[in-house]
């Protein structure tokens, strides 16, 4: 790495600093290279390790701010302290921003999203309910046909037996369908509820991850 | 080096180094002088100089050298007072440590 590349990278790494602090640090290192001389350029770059290391040292200490050297003996040297406070403030700003965005989203999208979601839920519930009712109806029709079959046994034995057979088949289909649709509701409705809750929770989950 | 150099000691060393030059001295030279005494990386000193400057222990001025500005650091009155405080504290501290060593295994 050459001096020019080194300084360019350092400059971009210090972008978070106030302009004055950044210019001051860059001027210092430019002068440092000048004073070391062109023949020591490589040595200085090797000693400084990387722009990243230099930038980290500067930013750490800039965050920490100036402390009065008269009391510095009592101040434990803790270079990480300033940085932690900085990132804490950042994440607070972040969550405030997210809450604002969320509220705006609710105000703007609410009138559309809430009725649409509500109708989807109602439609799915109605679908399940109608399947359940249809299954019961088939079973009831089976029972009715069975009764009719017994009634027909006396005038028309063969027709009566056939109708009883149809009635039994309908009853069997109805019972199986009823049991199946009850199971469907038991599995399906909580599943849909969980899905909706998860969808509503999504923005909050992202916040926790970030 | 076996022993760590804390922030206060580093401040003291830099103040002492700069105070040797009545006309003031510049970043590269300060670094070389400090490095003749203790092992520090070249990037350590900029934040120290900046902090001492903000605390008004050091003042800076620019001087024209070979057609460019070179920033010089000079110890202020407050810096001198601070350095004297460090000097007294250091003598107390090393005196106590020395007495511990002298009463130790080799005696």
Give A154-189 pLDDT, tens digit per residue: 888 888 888 889 989 998 998 998 898 888 888 877
Quick one: A182 and A134 in the same domain? yes
Q: Which ranges of chain A does DSSP label H, i.e. alpha helix?
A: 3-13, 19-36, 41-48, 51-64, 80-153, 157-209
pLDDT band at A90; cut points 50, 70, 90: low
Phi, psi of B69 (to 5 degrees): -80, 135
Amino acid A82: pLDDT = 44
Distance (Å) of CA A30 to CA A59, A117, A193, B27, B70: 18, 62, 64, 11, 10
* Higher local confidence (pLDDT), A195 or A79: A195
- B6 pLDDT more than 90: no
Average pLDDT score over chain A: 79
* Higher local confidence (pLDDT), A78 or B82: B82
Quick one: A35 and A132 in the same domain? no
* Higher local confidence (pLDDT), A81 or A37: A37
Amino acid B62: pLDDT = 86
- B50 pLDDT more than 50: yes
- A194 pLDDT more than 60: yes
Domain end marker among A17, A47, A77:
A77
Task: With respect to residue A86, please indicate whether it lies within any of the assigned structural domains.
Answer: no
Contact A170, A148 (CB under 8 A): no
Task: With respect to residue A160, please indicate whether it lies within any of the assigned structural domains.
Answer: yes
Distance CA A45, CA A20 (A): 24
Quick one: A136 and A186 in the same domain? yes
Quick one: A69 and A106 in the same domain? no
Pick from B43, B54, B68: which is nearest to A48 by CB? B43
Quick one: A57 and A115 in the same domain? no
Edge to edge, what strands does the sheet with B58-65 contain? Answer: B25-26, B68-75, B58-65
Quick one: A66 and A146 in the same domain? no
Domain end marker among A77, A105, A139:
A77
Whether B35 contacts chain A with CB within 8 A: no
Mean pLDDT lowest among A65-69, A141-145, B52-56: A65-69
Whether A170 contacts chain B with CB within 8 A: no
Place of tokens 């040292």: A57
Whether B77 contacts chain A with CB within 8 A: no
Domain borders along chain B are 7-102
Distance CA B29, CA B81 (A): 23
Mean pLDDT value of segment A130-158: 88
Pick from B42, B44, B82: which is nearest to A69 by CB? B82
- The two tokens of residue A190 are 């909580």
Tally of domains within chain A: 2
Contact A45, A27 (CB under 8 A): no
- The two tokens of residue B54 are 């903000």
Distance CA B93, CA B8 (A): 13
Closest CA–CA distance from residue B8 to any residue of chain A (Å): 6
CATH number for B7-102: choose from 1.10.540.10, 3.90.1150.10, 3.30.70.1880, 1.10.10.10: 1.10.10.10
pLDDT band at B74; cut points 50, 70, 90: very high
Whether A58 contacts chain B with CB within 8 A: yes
Distance CA B48, CA B64 (A): 24
Contact (CB<8Å) B43/A54: yes
Distance CA A97, CA A85 (A): 18
Quick one: A127 and A167 in the same domain? yes
Distance CA A52, CA A6 (A): 10
Task: With respect to residue A50, please indicate whether it lies within any of the assigned structural domains.
Answer: yes
- Burial group, residue A101, by CB count within 10 angstroms (0-12, 13-18, 19+): exposed
Contact (CB<8Å) B82/A34: no
Beta strands in B1-107 (DSSP E): 25-26, 58-65, 68-75
pLDDT band at A74; cut points 50, 70, 90: very low
- A132 pLDDT more than 50: yes
Selected residue of B47, B53, B81 to mutate for chain A interface (largest A Cβ count, 10 A)? B47
- Going by C-beta distance under 8 Å and a sequence separation of 6 or more, which residues neighbour residue B43? A48, A49, A53, A54, A57
- A71 pLDDT more than 60: no
**Which chain A residue's Cα is nearest to B89?**
A73
* Higher local confidence (pLDDT), B55 or B3: B55
Quick one: A194 and A101 in the same domain? yes
Task: With respect to residue A123, please indicate whether it lies within any of the assigned structural domains.
Answer: yes
- A119 pLDDT more than 60: yes
Amino acid B73: pLDDT = 92
Return residues 11-50 of A near B (CB < 8 Å): 24-25, 27-29, 31-32, 34-36, 44, 47-49
Average pLDDT score over chain B: 88
Closest CA–CA distance from residue A78 to any residue of chain B (Å): 9
Contact (CB<8Å) B50/A24: yes
Selected residue of A47, A69, A76, A83 to mutate for chain B interface (largest B Cβ count, 10 A)? A69
Distance (Å) of CA B85 to CA A1, A5, A124, B7, B44: 43, 42, 81, 15, 23
Amino acid B56: pLDDT = 92
Selected residue of B18, B50, B56, B75 to mutate for chain A interface (largest A Cβ count, 10 A)? B50
Contact (CB<8Å) B29/A35: yes
Contact (CB<8Å) A28/B46: yes
Distance CA A140, CA A134 (A): 10
Quick one: A202 and A101 in the same domain? yes
Quick one: A72 and A105 in the same domain? no
Domain end marker among A21, A43, A77:
A77
Quick one: A120 and A61 in the same domain? no
Cα of A113 vs its chain's centroid, Å? 18
Whether B52 contacts chain A with CB within 8 A: yes
Q: Which domain holds residue A39?
A: 3-77
């Amino acid at each position: 790495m050459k001096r020019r590349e080194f300084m360019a990278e350092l400059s971009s790494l210090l972008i978070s600093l106030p302009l004055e602090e950044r210019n001051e640090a860059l001027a210092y290192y430019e002068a440092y290279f000048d004073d070391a001389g062109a023949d020591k350029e490589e040595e200085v770059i090797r000693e400084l390790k990387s722009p990243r290391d230099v930038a980290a040292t500067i930013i750490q200490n800039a965050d920490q701010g100036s402390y009065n050297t008269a009391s510095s003996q009592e101040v434990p040297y803790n270079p990480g302290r300033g940085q932690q406070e900085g990132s804490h403030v950042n994440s607070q700003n972040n969550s405030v921003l997210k809450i604002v965005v969320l509220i705006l989203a609710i105000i703007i999208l609410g009138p559309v999203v809430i009725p649409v979601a509500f109708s989807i839920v109602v439609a799915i519930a109605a679908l399940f309910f109608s399947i359940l009712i249809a299954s019961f109806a088939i079973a009831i029709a089976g029972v009715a046909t069975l009764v009719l079959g017994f009634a027909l046994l006396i005038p028309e034995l063969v027709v009566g037996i056939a109708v009883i057979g149809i009635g039994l088949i309908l009853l069997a289909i109805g019972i199986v369908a009823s049991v199946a649709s009850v199971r469907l509701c038991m599995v399906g409705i909580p599943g849909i509820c969980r899905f909706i809750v998860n969808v509503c929770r999504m923005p909050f989950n992202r916040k926790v991850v970030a | 080096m076996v022993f760590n150099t804390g922030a206060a000691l580093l401040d003291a060393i830099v103040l002492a180094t700069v105070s040797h030059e009545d006309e003031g001295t510049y970043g590269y030279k300060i670094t070389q002088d400090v490095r003749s005494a203790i092992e520090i990386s070249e990037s350590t000193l900029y934040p120290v100089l900046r902090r001492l400057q903000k605390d008004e222990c050091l003042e800076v001025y620019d001087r024209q050298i070979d057609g460019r500005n070179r920033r010089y650091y000079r110890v202020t009155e407050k810096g001198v007072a601070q350095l004297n405080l460090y000097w007294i504290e250091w003598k107390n501290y090393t005196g106590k440590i020395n007495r511990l060593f002298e009463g130790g295994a080799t005696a």
